[in-house]
Homo-oligomer: A and B are copies of this chain.
Amino acid sequence: MSDTLTFRQQQVLDCIRQFISDTGMAPTRAELAELMGFQSKNAASDHLRALERKGYVRLHNDRSRGIQMLDAALWPEDELPVVGKVAAGLPIEAIENVERSVPVPQGMFRQRPTYLLRVQGDSMKDAGILDGDLIAVRKSNMARSGQIVVARIDDDVTVKTLKLGNGSATLMPANDDYAPITVGADQLVIEGIFVGLIRDAV
């Protein structure tokens, strides 16, 4: 499945998707030709056969408007690993840490996350990040002051708001019961940046 499409084929596929979204039905050969600017409906027919051969659509024989979009043509999904308890000494995304994986559609978050991390503890509760939440993290080793980051200090992975001073970095919790942690900027390893959150209420 999912051979690569030519430019024209991709346009045709987008056109079909748009048509279905607007009208609730698939276009006929003639309508597709009209939309794409073809003079002949057979051009549309040829494209459809190509799309079928490559596994993007299914054509129902002798059925009018029998163009069925298949998964490959629908929302391309990324399976992202869910990282649970992070074992000391291992990279955060090491297989040992992966709890399971969850399909996360592209476009759900404006910044594409690299992995999901299960939050432990309520040190960020005032920022709306609760114990057990999944946070979407984009892997990055740099961050700007004010961003919520996933950071590692001495093999401990924490989620905090980053404040950068001159030569030092402070990890600010969002909970009065916790104290800020200040370390030299060189002792801090940024693992990623918080780009979104998923909570599953029971």
Contacts and interface: CB of A to CB of B under 8 A. Distances in A.
A68 B28 CA distance: 15
B129 A24 contact: no
A75 B107 CA distance: 16
Number of copies: 2
Interface string A176-202: 000000000000000000111111111
Contacts of A200: 108-110, 195-196
B25 A110 contact: no
Interface of A: 23-26, 28, 58, 60, 63-69, 74-79, 102-105, 107-111, 125-126, 128-130, 133, 148, 194-202
A110 B202 contact: yes
A77 to B, nearest CB: 7
A149 to B, nearest CB: 11
A25 B66 contact: yes
